[in-house]
A = this chain, B = another copy of it.
Amino acid sequence: MPISKNALSTLTSATAEIMQSEWDIIKNIKERVGVRPSQDSPIFGIGDDCAVYRISDGRYGLFSTDISIENVHFDLRYTSFHDAGYRSMSANISDIYAMGGTPVLALVALGLPSSMTQTDVDEIYRGILASSSNHQTFIAGGDISASDKLVISISIYGETTMPVYRSGAKPGDYIYLTGKPGLSKLGLELLQSGKDAGRYPLSIKKHLTPDPRGGITAGITKEFAPSAMIDISDGLISDIRHVCEESGTGFIIDTDLIPVPEEIRVFCRGEMNKVLDYSLYSGEEYELLFTSSKPESGHDEITLIGRITETGYFLKTGDSSEEIVIAGYDHFQR
């Protein structure tokens, strides 16, 4: 739900500056109203993947919204209307999973350029419904407007008995990751360059029609009792940093432990620096990153990649570890 680095990366510097200050504004609002709007309010989770609303003891509503705009979040030269809808819906559903929740319903607001035909609009809905029905999420309503550029603004509601926040990581906790990161970034690059797309079908698929990790969420909650969780929408490094910032901790990630997808391995021809670039900076992966005091369970799709520390952000490769220097809000330099 919060500002994504991917959105920022395609912006002009002027806009990036606004977005930066916008972040400040949201921070200001958060500080002004407090994490809860009042002493007795049942609303919290502001600034997390979802806002959390206590419905009753042991039952929580999860709320999130994501806005996708043509030429910022998707490019219609290589994204079909179906896929634009699909990935927007998936991004929203992923926010619910990132809180340990189950999606229930979603509302779809569209801004439609006059150049679009009825078939185009139908295709967007077909994509939205393809993703939502995979995750038992009901499209309960929406709104439409004319617009210069295509806007897809989806809001989602889910529920959980135990929300998992970004802020619960503790020094000593293990850092776990579902799946193998990198494909979405490669997919985007191939689509942008218009070259070799056919040779990397999984990367293309991961970028255009990402599937949030619903099946695994119940297992994570049960086996790992995660202390903090986030979905990888900005990139592994950026998202673990969100967790650590909210938790007041540091991290050390062992880059040798991050699983590498076959297509990334082939594309990078064994150049480890190149591989790492995909592992650490690929956004819109919608894999889950979580921390837990529990040791590995041998789960096929869950990999231990590091530990939460008291302070500092470190990458370990082989026997050497290197501190990451932060330059600006969402930019890292190694």
Q: What is the interface of chain A, defined by CB distance below 8 A to chain B?
A: 1-3, 7, 10-12, 14-15, 18-19, 21-22, 24-26, 29, 33, 37, 41, 43, 45-48, 50-51, 53, 55-56, 61, 63-69, 72-73, 104-105, 107-114, 116-118, 121-122, 125, 129, 138-149, 151, 153, 155, 157
Q: How far is the CA of A63 from the CA of B141 in the complex (A)?
A: 8
* Contacting pair B53 A22 (CB below 8 A): no
Given contacts A43-B140, A145-B7, A145-B68, A122 and B153 within 8 Å (CB-CB): no
> In the complex, how many angstroms separate the beta carbon of A214 from the nearest chain B beta carbon?
17
User: Is the beta-carbon distance between A15 and B65 smaller than 8 angstroms?
Assistant: no
- Cα distance A22–B112 when bound, in Å? 10
> Roughly how many angstroms separate A18 CA and B2 CA in the complex, as a whole number?
31
Question: Could you tell me the distance in whole angstroms from the C-beta of A308 to the nearest C-beta in chain B?
Answer: 25
How far, in angstroms, from A151 to B64 measured CA to CA in the complex? 17
What separation, in Å, do the CA atoms of A22 and B122 have in the docked complex?
8
Residues in B with CB closer than 8 Å to A14 are 114
How far, in Å, is A130 (CB) from chain B's closest CB?
Answer: 13
A92 shortest CB reach to chain B, Å: 10
Stoichiometry, copies per complex:
2
A26 to chain B, nearest CB (A): 7
- The distance from the CB of A328 to the nearest CB of chain B, in whole angstroms, is 16
A105 and B43 within 8 A (CB): yes
Minimum CB–CB distance for A8 against chain B, Å: 8
Contacting residues, chain B, for A143 (C-beta < 8 A): 1-3, 65-67
New contact pairs (5) apart from A3-B143, A155-B155, CB-CB < 8 Å = A11-B114, A26-B142, A67-B151, A69-B146, A109-B153
**Could you pull out 26 A-B pairs where Cβ atoms are within 8 angstroms?**
A1-B107, A7-B146, A12-B114, A15-B112, A18-B112, A18-B117, A18-B118, A19-B112, A21-B121, A22-B112, A25-B121, A37-B138, A41-B138, A43-B105, A45-B140, A51-B105, A53-B104, A55-B55, A61-B157, A63-B107, A64-B107, A65-B141, A66-B143, A67-B144, A68-B145, A72-B147
| B61 contacts A141, C-beta separation under 8 Å | no
3 nearest A-B residue pairs (beta carbon): A51-B140, A155-B155, A21-B118
* Min distance, Cβ A153 to any Cβ of chain B, angstroms: 4
In angstroms, how far is the closest chain B Cβ from the Cβ of A18? 6
Residues of B within 8 A of A116 (CB): 18
Assuming the contacts A1-B142, A64-B141, asked whether A114 and B18 have C-beta atoms less than 8 A apart, the reply is yes
Measured CB to CB, the closest approach of chain B to A79, in angstroms, equals 15
| Interfacial chain B residues near A61, Cβ < 8 Å | 61, 157
Q: Which of B29, B122, B151 contacts A125, CB < 8 Å? A: B29
Is A65 within 8 A of B149, CB to CB? no
Contact partners of A112 in chain B: CB under 8 A: 15, 18-19, 22
Chain B residues with CB under 8 Å of A141's CB are: 1-2, 45-48, 50-51, 63-65
A19, closest chain B residue (CB): B144
- Closest B residue by C-beta to A44: B140
Residues in B whose Cβ lies below 8 Å from that of A146:
7, 10-12, 15, 19, 69, 72
Q: Which residues of B contact A25 (CB under 8 A)?
A: 118, 121-122, 125
